[in-house]
Structure 1
């Protein structure tokens, strides 16, 4: 674990770290305070990890490696894509909006999955943005570099805390303030604060519109909702629990996560648990396959499995064909598209209240 910094070195560092120390549950008040910093490139900037250890930047990084397509997409949206020299879990061609796709395809792919330790340390990066693990990088995420190895290679290591630190959060996550904090953090680190403010404002506009339409819907009038993580395996389903971003997305959209009583980010459950919940709607959570055609095929497979499996074909949502085809990443990993997913779910579940754009 990195040792804690003894000095902050300026107001910018103090304000930003105050925001990010709340990590997975910070509210809009802290977010608004961070946005009040003057200057798009004010340094030094300090950010914290899941255990509040600090990393300080005295200038913008020049050579960034991202762990997956989600952190890459955020940098592209912030206008810092020209600093990215490599990524793991690359986005498939055409899976990002047209304006970003061409840029994304020019980024060097260091691995189709987790970047191997030696390749990451030898990449020449001065910053690695990690979406996945909290601190110990366990759980099948590969043989990750230690803090000492990152330092020896001259690479600073920071996290998308709303995803990476979810399991350590306090209480249910019911809004996207932690995602907004991640965007503010990346904007401060890369000198793109103004762009970060614009992204957050656009997200809030979408979510606020949905909340005005469905926010006062009584709990018993909210349809129940199950996120079916098809890629996590079908033998034993993995539930999205109340500290995961997806729980906030589902809640903001005017639905009830059937596993809202599960305290954590993810948990393996049994199909008998899903049957007991008997959800009104099921999201077919499929991870990006690299093309629209491949994604459609995966959605088809997930739906077919639910319709033909003896344990699930009698579920209310299955019998009525109430499926949502929304990619896993836009629901469970920090990004601008979390707000889009809130909007999509709300329009599907509450068409009388949330109209088409």
Structure 2
């Protein structure tokens, strides 16, 4: 199977970041609860965050030197306007994989590792904050031991986790909205003193999702089209399904579709093609990771579609026979971030033409 590790996806037991002031529960409405209700927009300290075990980390001032575990956390900091504080990252974004000016900024960030940052390099980085997207730095692949909390403290590094990625797989209920993603954005905004920008980003996400929810709300749940995310880059021999604890499940649900593997508890699960065939989706998203250019991406989307059309096990699927494919990148669908809301909108416009503006 092709690895998902470029973006740091993981299924292990993990911790997550929560703003003590409160956040959405990851379920229910498209926008979720208003993040950081009652808190000032930016720059007020001390700020305290907790992980999913309740352990607290307090910041008396904005961190000055930040290391990110992977490209998704780096992207959020760039969007928040805190990119100048990032001194290094693991799992760097490929050239051209981030939109617009974000890509140019990201390419200037020092790469501490092409994968998980080695323990010694992380502890010796000079960072005062490490933003961790992962469940475990070990990742089950023998890529080095994670520093202990005592070692982080001795190095002067505080660590916070991304709730929307780190805790999702262990959530007690399916993820059906973007409140956890929005809580991450608000929390990182509070920690880095960019709360005003965080609110702007979250408000923009909520506006798009609420508009879609209103438009598709007239269609009963039982009549909504079924949807399969085809993770082409995870391999074709045995498909990898996105389950109901993955942010893609929320994206699909909010767009007015029904994830055909929404009954699968967890984030990802390998299934058989017979499982896909038995569910016979109305629509298939061609899940392809960015190749760095529009032309390269189009080529990859074409390859994924051709594989489905030519494979004896899949060419008879309803979506394949009717040509109901969506060419939307994997990262913006399966990686928790601002573009999740854009993907909700794009899917809904395809599935509900004329109804979603």
- TM superposition score category, shorter chain reference: 0.7 to 0.9
Q: Which residue of 2 aligns with 1:156?
A: 158
CA distance in 2, matches of 1:141, 1:164: 19
| Contact map agreement 2:28 2:177 (CA 8 A) in 1 | no
For the residue of structure 2 that corresponds to 1:272, the secondary structure is helix
TM-aligned CA distance change 1:223 to 1:23, over 3 Å:
closer
For the residue of structure 2 that corresponds to 1:19, the secondary structure is coil
| Contact map agreement 1:241 1:260 (CA 8 A) in 2 | yes
1:56 Cα deviation after fit: 1.7
Q: Which residue of 2 aligns with 1:17?
A: 20
Q: Which residue of 1 aligns with 2:6?
A: none
| Contact map agreement 2:31 2:206 (CA 8 A) in 1 | no
Q: Which residue of 1 aligns with 2:146?
A: 145
Q: Which residue of 2 aligns with 1:282?
A: 284
TM-aligned CA distance change 1:282 to 1:132, over 3 Å:
farther
1:283 Cα deviation after fit: 1.0
CA distance in 1, matches of 2:28, 2:144: 31
CA distance in 2, matches of 1:189, 1:25: 25
TM-aligned CA distance change 1:84 to 1:39, over 3 Å:
same
1:118-267 aligned within 5 A? 118-133=120-135, 137-140=138-141, 142-147=143-148, 148-267=150-269
Question: Which portions of structure 1, spanning 4 or more consecutive aligned residues, are displaced by more than 4 angstroms?
Answer: 22-31
CA distance in 1, matches of 2:195, 2:152: 26
For the residue of structure 1 that corresponds to 2:36, the secondary structure is helix
| Contact map agreement 2:30 2:177 (CA 8 A) in 1 | no
Q: Which residue of 1 aligns with 2:64?
A: 62
| Contact map agreement 2:97 2:291 (CA 8 A) in 1 | no
Between the two proteins, the alignment pairs up a number of residues equal to 340
Unaligned regions of 5+ residues in structure 1, if any? 1-14
TM-score (norm 1): 0.88
Higher helix share: 1
CA distance in 1, matches of 2:117, 2:236: 26
| Contact map agreement 1:63 1:127 (CA 8 A) in 2 | yes
> Which fold has the larger relative contact order, with Cα–Cα distance below 8 Å and residues 6 or more apart in sequence?
2
| Contact map agreement 2:31 2:177 (CA 8 A) in 1 | no
| Contact map agreement 1:94 1:292 (CA 8 A) in 2 | no
| Contact map agreement 1:171 1:243 (CA 8 A) in 2 | yes
TM-aligned CA distance change 1:39 to 1:239, over 3 Å:
closer
Greater mean alpha carbon deviation, residues 142-151 or residues 343-352: 142-151
> Does 1:77 find its partner at 2:71?
no
The superposition leaves residues 236-260 of structure 1 with CA deviations (integer Å, 9 ceiling, x where unpaired) of 2121111111111000001000011
Greater mean alpha carbon deviation, residues 83-92 or residues 223-232: 83-92
Q: Which residue of 2 aligns with 1:300?
A: 302
| Contact map agreement 2:116 2:143 (CA 8 A) in 1 | yes
1:23 Cα deviation after fit: 6.5
CA distance in 2, matches of 1:74, 1:120: 20
Root-mean-square deviation (CA, aligned residues, Å) is 2.4
For the residue of structure 2 that corresponds to 1:267, the secondary structure is strand
For the residue of structure 2 that corresponds to 1:246, the secondary structure is helix
CA distance in 2, matches of 1:108, 1:303: 36
For the residue of structure 2 that corresponds to 1:85, the secondary structure is strand
For the residue of structure 2 that corresponds to 1:32, the secondary structure is coil
TM-score (norm 2): 0.88
| Contact map agreement 1:215 1:252 (CA 8 A) in 2 | no
Unaligned regions of 5+ residues in structure 2, if any? 1-17
Greater mean alpha carbon deviation, residues 331-340 or residues 86-95: 86-95
1:107 Cα deviation after fit: 1.1
| Contact map agreement 1:88 1:111 (CA 8 A) in 2 | yes
1:112 Cα deviation after fit: 2.7
For the residue of structure 2 that corresponds to 1:275, the secondary structure is helix
CA distance in 2, matches of 1:142, 1:96: 26
1:124 Cα deviation after fit: 1.7
